[in-house]
Amino acid sequence: MISGRETLRLAFRALQRNTLRSFLTALGIIIGVAAVICMVSIGEGAKSRIRGMIEAAGTNVILVFSGSSSSGGMRGGMGSQPTITWDDLRAIQTELPAVRAAAPQARGGSEVVSENATWTTTVYGVTPEFFDIRNWALDHGVLLSPSDQAGAAKNVVLGATTADKLFGNGVDPVGQSVRIRNAPFTIVGVLERKGQSGMGQDQDDAAFIPMSAFQSRFQRGLGKFVPGQLYVSAVSSEAIEPAKTQITQLLRQRHRLDSGEEDDFSLMTMAEMTGMLTATTQTLTTLLASIAFVSLLVGGIGVMNIMLVSVTERTREIGIRMAVGAQPLDIMAQFLIEALTLAALGGVVGIALGIGAADLLSSRFGWSMAVRTDIVVLALLVSAGVGVVFGLYPARKASRLDPIEALRYE
């Protein structure tokens, strides 16, 4: 058999002779590979963005919900029934060594009315520790204070978007007054911009008031129970698991649950939340990538089709080559390498195009992207594999031609 380099040269020759056809055939592969790379890059980007945002929401954070998370029987879901009391919260804040801070958070939708504008946003009832736990800094003004909570002060801290909507971009609204549920609240501070959450909602479209004020305006009659859920931060990332154990033990003990009884609360760490969200994104990415892989497959069939046409068209050439001494394997290698070259070239161009498209889409729509080297390598291997698999049959067909018949072919 002749050398690989010689065969490669022959393949390039043949592809050059039919430039347009070669290009169109490769285009099938190019589009397929580009689609895979683009989809996966954007999916990966979304995943890392979600991870980043959830981490920005506060690291080492554990969420504590009232009610059981278990779906056993007809129990209500998380947060459906208040079970955590203010005493529970204080115990979590003071008794557990792995816990750095804990704060409740409840929310309700409401119109917020300034002198010039009305804006419907989410109003959160929080305690002063909340901002620290969520790792959320002030842009200007001050945060809610313990005395605001103690006195149910009608003070409000606005998210950046809410401030912009009510007062216009760049205007400092601190000291001004807004009405929330018909009560005048004084703006004491505006928070730093935090951007979209992992679920795509604007975290800055919010207003924060003391939980005590929230309870009197939004959610009455809970008495000793804490509305909403708790944000608990562990002292370090290593302390997350101990903190979970400690909170569970503490709450079970305080709620006097027997060992056979289910928890009447549930915990979720940010890591678990990230996991959940990234799993969703992963599913989507996988789905999109599989569709893209189908188009790669279609590209492969295109390669096979053209190779079959090419073998038929070049029957006489095959006959000539055989007559002057080409081995069946030489002929097979020539056509196989031709298909492989076509597919691999398509793969390389497709990768470049896919990365380019992902880059364009992400800058156009503000998505993020992350190119995964393993997927790039995989796409290249798959496209080369497609070339081999779909080139094999035409190449075998060529190598099995009878030289006499082939020479006679018109």
Partner 1 sequence: MALIELQKVTRIYQSGDTEFAALRDVDLSIASGEFVAVTGSSGSGKSTLMNILGCLDSPTRGVYRLDDRDVARMSRVELADVRNRSIGFVFQSFNLLPRTPAIENVELPLIYAHVPPAERRRRATEALERVGLADRSKHQPSQLSGGQQQRVAIARALVTRPPLILADEPTGNLDSVTSLDIMQLLAGLRDSGITIVFVTHEADIAAFAHRRLALRDGVIVADERSHSPTATEARG
CA–CA separation, 22 and 299 (whole Å): 12
Amino acid at 83: T
Residue 323 binds partner 1 (CB under 8 A): yes
Residue 327 binds partner 1 (CB under 8 A): yes
Residue 316 binds partner 1 (CB under 8 A): yes
Instruction: Select from 55-63, 130-138, 183-191, 402-410 the region that touches partner 1 (CB under 8 A).
Output: 402-410
Residue 6 binds partner 1 (CB under 8 A): yes
Residue 404 binds partner 1 (CB under 8 A): yes
Residue 325 binds partner 1 (CB under 8 A): yes
Residue 82 binds partner 1 (CB under 8 A): no
CA–CA separation, 167 and 81 (whole Å): 38
Closest to partner 1 by CB, 215 or 310: 310
Length of the chain (residues): 410
Instruction: Select from 58-66, 216-224, 253-261, 318-326 the region that touches partner 1 (CB under 8 A).
Output: 318-326
59 within 8 A of 135, measured Cβ to Cβ = yes
Residue 21 binds partner 1 (CB under 8 A): no
CA–CA separation, 183 and 113 (whole Å): 10
- Scanning the structure block, which residue is given the tokens 């006195």? 151
Q: How far is the CB of 328 from partner 1 (least distance, A)?
A: 6
Among 60, 213, 321, 351, the residue binding partner 1 under the rule CB under 8 A is 321
Amino acid at 248: T
Instruction: Select from 61-69, 110-118, 346-354, 399-407 the region that touches partner 1 (CB under 8 A).
Output: 399-407
CA–CA separation, 53 and 397 (whole Å): 56
Per-residue tokens: 394? 């035409």
Among 223, 324, 366, 374, the residue binding partner 1 under the rule CB under 8 A is 324
Instruction: Select from 3-11, 84-92, 106-114, 232-240 the region that touches partner 1 (CB under 8 A).
Output: 3-11
Q: Following DSSP, what letter does each residue of 14-72 receive, concatenated? A: HHHHTHHHHHHHHHHHHHHHHHHHHHHHHHHHHHHHHHHHHHHT-TTEEEEEES----S
CA–CA separation, 330 and 240 (whole Å): 65
Residue 322 binds partner 1 (CB under 8 A): yes
**Nearest CA to 405 among 328, 331, 323?**
323
Q: Rule CB under 8 A: which residues touch partner 1?
A: 2-3, 6, 10, 13, 17, 316-317, 319-330, 403-404, 407
